[in-house]
Amino acid sequence: MPITPSSVRDLPVGLLGRAQAVQPRTVALRRALHRRPELGLDLPATRDAVRDALADLPITVHLGGSCSSVVGVIEGARPGPTVLLRGDMDALPLQEDTGLGFASEVDGAMHACGHDTHVAMLASAARLLAEDRDRLAGRVLLMFQPGEEGFHGARHMIEEGLLERSGPAGEPEAAFALHISSTLPSGELHHRPGAIMAAADVLRVTVTGRGGHASAPQDACDPVPAAAAMVGALQTMLTRRIGPHDPAVLTIARITAGTTDNIIPETAQLEGTLRTLSEPVRAQLHTEIDRVCRHLALAHDCTAEVEIVPGYPVTVNDPGAAESLARVGAKVLGAPRCTPMQAPIMGAEDFSYVLRRVPGALAFLGGRPAGVAAETAPPNHSNRVVFDESALPSGVAVHAGLALAALSG
């Protein structure tokens, strides 16, 4: 289901203006969600807010069973394929320090990654699409997803039959998502084909030696030097086993050992993250990490237990879908506001599970407040991050434009 240049040219005029007209609704929903953030897969209040936002529209709503997902189906006036639009809903376990008038009222929870804006933009795009049902040859699948922040919410929804909601036409023929960024210029669309976000795996290593008195290390088998040696050795391994054109990031972010100053502990633990942009490199590094840690432990007369917990896959944009997204963005927002990305981002996204099944693309929407420099703007996941709400109509219009162009019939 390619989005052709002619279907983009035929998009209704004034789409951005219509998105701006529903901005009060968009902002109201966004701020309501921001005040009451929820974590993980169980988001009952967020689910109800989404359902209420769609209640007056001709949209069939399905609620998830294993998680608080919401799937909306907009049936077009004529038969045709299905296009999926995603908005993730969960917050982060973080105490907000923005000072906003609508700051989080929930201790230890904050919409620090902008998922509240994603939900609000998709709900308002649904309103525009419902008004334009007579233009649609096919259906729009609205994917309101919990559990993006490490809980594999997209996978839960797929396992529950998300992609089968397309009806007799089969699985969706295209899927699109937008992710807001607090460091990109407000209202700009940043896009690229191929890998756009990394796979993310968790690394845990337990080094076991033999405890003893800190004054007599010769009578013990100290796991701390072995663990310390692993940190440097793993970085060396990365540069000597993986070519410079295959990006990979390995960070040891946590080291724990011991209880006091005069005891050599029996164990030391390392914990970190591995980020890769291709599955072959990912698999190779799983093997190399295990080998380096086990052999270094043996060199120190210790043993090592290595656990690598697979996280989200690489987020890979279909080239045709990425080009279509860029075309729609240029038509709706203007070509100067659509910027090709030179490199992927090493963060991870569970929209990758959808893109493994359906050709599609994810892009970034700028949300940096006016007057704030990129180098000083608190980034996504910061306790001080602020997103410019004037960027939201751009996301609403792009969402709606993608569906209208794809289902122009």
Contact between 260 and 193 (Cβ < 8 Å)? no
- Cα three-residue angle 11-81-66, rounded to 5 degrees: 110
Gap between the Cα atoms of 234 and 293, Å rounded: 8
Gap between the Cα atoms of 153 and 374, Å rounded: 31
Residues marked active site are found at 312, 389
Tokens 């008038």 — which residue?
A: 101
CA 207 from centroid of its chain's CA atoms: 33
- The Cβ of residue 160 has, within 10 Å, a number of other Cβ atoms equal to 17
**Residue 106 backbone phi and psi in degrees, to 5:** -110, 120
- Of 63, 88, 68, the residue nearest 149 (C-alpha): 88
Q: Could you tell me which residues are beta bridge partners of residue 362?
A: 177
